[in-house]
């Protein structure tokens, strides 16, 4: 029996699918494998100092009672390896207490005179540049300005301009620079942000495409538009490769749907629906996704702190289990449960994931037959754990019997294993 399809048929297929190939390559390039911070900390911009991250780390440790208190809290929360977790979190709070910091000129800063905000923007940019230069800045750092809605548009645009311009006056922009565009309602607002980024790059001789930004999802109109579509998916592609991530805004979004204040939370059904749509929108694009925050803070009397830590740990674990690897922290004491819950998540599944990855790479027969896509997911899971400090290189080598380079190659789909 001879084959029906000849070279001309294949050429016709290639021609018909050329546009599909281009679409997938440009719009859905997949996970780039870059480090994603496990959280974003928001502070009023005028309160930032280079010492703030280390101060937050020390205060968080003191609040829980240092390593011994971390062991007790981990045990109370029912986490495995409480002693090991306490040691790892102590190290994290000492060496890298904040992974991602946002100097806020929006809700956290409020309305000030133009002269006062101008001065604060310039001072904030100078402080960030100095901290980056001396190595005291978090791996990721940036600002959030006021939104593009008509009442605050001019102020937001000016703050963006001043911050980037002043930062650029110190030299190349920080590699971990992150800028947040809040309260996005339409795709056109994202296109406007692209326009402004291009103008700033041209004015300061910055590499084209280097100014990238996060989009904060706080309005229902961007989840379901007036024609029944999902603008949140379209705005990613309208961002011309500049959109880094989507961040869910817990309270503005809930309030806009009429949810009573007492019931607004990261786990309300309206929040889950919005984040489900956002998660589908970012799939395959390389754009990150972040959950929002809880305003129940571990502060005040010991009973309130214990309850707030328990809630925060559960909410962190909840979004991790749902494939959302980042959230917001608003108070220094939330760092305690951010890292306890995050480290526990990556450590509890480490042995099983590493064993399956070892069996896949070394072609060891087992009860589970994993495919390349699953192997990448296993590697990415472990890779995230290594990046945040939950898992050591030695543990990867011992359990998975591969190097960190091999782990990264599989996670980023650069492995020859199959």
pLDDT of residue 412: 80
Does 44 have pLDDT greater than 60? yes
pLDDT of residue 418: 42
Does 363 have pLDDT greater than 90? no
| pLDDT tens profile 314-349 | 999 999 999 999 999 999 999 999 999 999 999 999
Does 83 have pLDDT greater than 50? yes
Can you tell me the distance from the alpha carbon of 205 to that of 201, in angstroms, rounded to the nearest whole number? 6
Does 45 have pLDDT greater than 80? yes
| pLDDT tens profile 46-61 | 999 999 999 999 999 9
Which pairs with CB-CB distance under 8 Å and at least 24 residues apart come from 357-360?
A: 357/382, 357/400, 357/402, 357/407, 357/410, 358/399, 358/400, 358/401, 358/402, 360/417
Backbone angles phi, psi at 285, to 5 degrees: -90, -15
Task: Strands of 238-280 (E only): list them.
Answer: 243-248
CATH of 39-345, one of 3.20.20.140, 3.40.630.30, 3.40.50.720, 3.20.20.60: 3.20.20.60
Tell me the pLDDT of the chain averaged across its residues. 95
Q: Enumerate the domain spans of the chain.
A: 39-345, 350-411
pLDDT of residue 51: 96
Can you tell me the distance from the alpha carbon of 135 to that of 122, in angstroms, rounded to the nearest whole number? 20
pLDDT of residue 143: 98
The percentage of residues in the chain with a pLDDT greater than 90, rounded to a whole number, is 92
| pLDDT tens profile 312-321 | 999 999 999 9
Q: What is the pLDDT confidence band of residue 371, given thresholds at 50, 70 and 90?
A: confident
| pLDDT tens profile 193-232 | 999 999 999 999 999 999 999 999 999 999 999 999 999 9
Task: Strands of 84-236 (E only): list them.
Answer: 100-104, 140-144, 177-181, 213-217
pLDDT of residue 252: 95
Does 147 have pLDDT greater than 80? yes
C-alpha pair distances (Å), 380 with each of 15, 281, 326, 376, 412: 35, 20, 15, 6, 8
List the beta bridge partners of residue 141: 101, 177
pLDDT of residue 372: 85
Identify the residue whose tokens are 């001309």. 8
Q: What is the pLDDT confidence band of residue 369, given thresholds at 50, 70 and 90?
A: confident
| pLDDT tens profile 85-119 | 999 999 999 999 999 999 999 999 999 999 999 99
Burial 202-211 (b: 16+ CB within 10 A, else e): eeeebeeeeb
| pLDDT tens profile 126-143 | 999 999 999 999 999 999
pLDDT of residue 33: 79
> What is the mean predicted confidence (pLDDT) over 291-309?
96
pLDDT of residue 417: 43
Sheet with 288-290, strands from edge to edge, namely 288-290, 243-248, 213-217, 177-181, 140-144, 100-104, 39-44, 327-329
pLDDT of residue 247: 98
pLDDT of residue 366: 78
pLDDT of residue 364: 86
């Amino acid at each position: 029996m001879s084959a029906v399809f000849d070279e001309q048929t294949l050429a016709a297929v290639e021609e018909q699918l050329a546009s599909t190939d281009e679409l997938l390559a440009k719009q859905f390039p997949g996970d780039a494998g870059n480090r994603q911070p496990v959280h974003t900390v928001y502070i009023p911009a005028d309160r930032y100092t280079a010492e703030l991250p280390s101060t937050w780390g020390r205060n968080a440790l003191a609040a829980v009672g240092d390593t011994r208190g971390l062991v007790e809290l981990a045990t109370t929360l029912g986490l495995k390896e409480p002693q090991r977790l306490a040691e790892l979190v102590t190290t994290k709070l000492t060496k890298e207490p904040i992974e991602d910091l946002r100097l806020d000129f929006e809700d956290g800063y409020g309305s000030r005179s133009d002269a006062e905000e101008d001065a604060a923007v310039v001072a904030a940019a100078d402080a960030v540049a100095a901290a980056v230069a001396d190595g005291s800045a978090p791996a990721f750092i940036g600002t959030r300005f006021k939104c593009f809605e008509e009442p605050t548009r001019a102020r937001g645009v000016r703050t963006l301009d001043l911050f980037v311009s002043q930062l650029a006056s110190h030299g190349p922009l920080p590699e971990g620079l992150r800028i947040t565009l809040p309260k996005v309602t339409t795709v056109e607002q994202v296109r406007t942000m692209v326009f402004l980024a291009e103008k700033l790059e041209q004015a300061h001789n910055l590499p084209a495409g280097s100014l990238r930004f996060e989009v904060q999802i706080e309005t229902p109109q961007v989840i379901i538009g007036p024609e029944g579509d999902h603008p949140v998916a379209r705005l990613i592609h309208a961002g011309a490769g500049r959109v880094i991530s989507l961040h869910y805004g817990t309270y503005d979004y809930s309030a806009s749907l009429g949810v009573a204040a007492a019931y607004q939370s990261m786990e309300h059904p309206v929040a889950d629906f919005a984040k489900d749509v956002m998660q589908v929108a970012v799939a395959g694009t390389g754009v990150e996704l972040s959950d929002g925050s809880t305003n129940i803070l571990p502060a005040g009397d010991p009973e309130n702190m214990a309850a707030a830590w328990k809630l925060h740990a559960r909410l962190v674990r909840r979004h991790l289990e749902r494939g959302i690897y980042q959230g917001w922290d608003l108070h220094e004491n939330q760092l305690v449960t951010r890292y306890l819950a995050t480290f526990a998540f990556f450590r509890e599944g480490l042995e099983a994931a590493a064993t399956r990855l070892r069996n896949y790479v070394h072609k060891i027969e087992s009860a589970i037959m994993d495919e390349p896509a699953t192997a990448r997911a296993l590697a990415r899971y472990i890779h995230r754990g290594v990046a945040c400090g939950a898992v050591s290189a030695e543990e990867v080598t011992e359990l998975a019997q591969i190097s960190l380079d091999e782990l990264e190659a599989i996670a980023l789909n650069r492995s020859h294993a199959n």
